[in-house]
A and B are shown apart, each in its own frame.
Chain A
Amino acid sequence: MSGVIRAILGYYFLVFMMRIAGRRPGRQMAPVDFILVFFSGGLILTTTVGDDRSFVNAAAQIAAICAAHYMLVVLRSRYPAMGRIVDGTPLVLLEHGRWRHKVMESMLIEDADVMSSARDQGVENLEQIDYAILERNGQISVITKDSE
């Protein structure tokens, strides 16, 4: 199989697996998430490179991955449904002083993760939070009661 095809398949396979693996990357990445990302990347590298260590192969594969990524981004911006499949949808974690615990469980997010993001925004305790939203990029946005 051509190295270019292997690179494209490897790219889409990793996009798929990272989407399935649950907790979203982004600002919420913990060391354990880094292991998943880098270990998977290293493993897919062995099959995409194979025994062809030439510059031409590397250049062709990088071009292929860039094209595959560009296509995904274009599809994502043109079709909202594609955006939801690739990135998911923003999810409300906390609303008017109450946790949406089922959403949190399914996204493997804990109270401490929300509080960690809240502290970044100068919030001192959970009671001050009106809304906490898990964004598509993995960041948790916090809207405080004062900011209304």
Chain B
Amino acid sequence: MPAIHDTRPIEDSVPKINDELAVGSDLQFQQRWEKLESIIWIFLFIFLLLSLAGLFGRGPLSNVTAQAPDASMQVDYERFERFSTPSVLTVRVNPASIKNGQLQLWVSDSLVKPLGNQRVIPQPERSELGAGGITYTFPAFESSASIEFQMQPSAIGKSELKMRIPGNSELDLNIYVMP
């Protein structure tokens, strides 16, 4: 018994050019696609410019200095961070905030998660948990001091970071972590 094969007749399914050569070309689609391509190139160019400017991190638009309302500290940080990418947040403290050879700094929980604090320089003498954050105590002399937090964000999106030297006003920072 002969094998049965599923077959179908040949149809003129591939459009011809000049009624002789089956190419299957679609010039209308190609013209529409080229228009779309030029629009996409414009978007890519804008994306590139914004990227260079730092809207997605690592650029002039991203680097910000914020100051507490009572000038007790200044913070240099990146407003636009990148996911899982190291960055540094530097706190510069007004010498008047140093008391009895000690400097205390309270930082909200978001420093650890989602902003992924990896290291504090200099090493704090004490770290205490409480009041929705961590209070670091550093030995300090009565001259201006700076503290560096090395971070590596572990979540995408907006994070609010609050900082305060006890007895002084609070500094609120909004940090956006890019994917």
Contact = CB atoms under 8 A, between A and B. Distances in A.
Nearest to A148: B20
Interface residues of A, number: 18
Interface stretch (A34-42, A87-95, A119-127): A87-95
Contact of B23 (A51, A90, A106): A90
B26 interface: yes
A32 interface: no
Contact of A89 (B26, B40, B44): B26
Contacts, number: 42
Interface in A29-58: 50-51
B167 interface: no
B34 A106 contact: yes
Interface in A86-139: 88-92, 95-96, 103, 106, 131, 133
B111 to A, nearest CB: 20
Nearest to A100: B27
Contacts of A89: 24-27, 29-30
B21 A131 contact: yes
A133 B37 contact: no
A106 B34 CA distance: 8
Interface secondary structure of A, over-half rule: mixed
B85 to A, nearest CB: 10
Interface secondary structure of B, over-half rule: mixed
Contacts of B30: 88-89, 91, 103, 106
A95 B17 CA distance: 9
Contacts of B27: 89, 91
A19 to B, nearest CB: 9
A108 B116 CA distance: 47
A143 interface: yes
B25 A92 contact: yes
A1 B156 contact: yes
B130 interface: no
Contacts of A88: 30, 33
A84 interface: yes
Contacts of B9: none
Contact of B83 (A1, A84, A96, A133): A1
Interface in B32-55: 33-34, 37, 40-41, 44
B24 A95 contact: no
Given A84-B29, A88-B33, A89-B29, A133 B41 contact: no
B18 interface: yes
B26 A84 contact: yes
Given A1-B83, A90-B25, 5 more contacts: A20-B37, A84-B29, A85-B33, A89-B26, A96-B18
Interface of A: 1, 20, 50-51, 84-85, 88-92, 95-96, 103, 106, 131, 133, 143
What 7 A-B pairs come out closest when comparing CB atoms? A89-B26, A90-B25, A90-B23, A84-B29, A90-B24, A89-B29, A20-B40
5 contacts: A84-B26, A91-B25, A92-B17, A95-B18, A106-B30
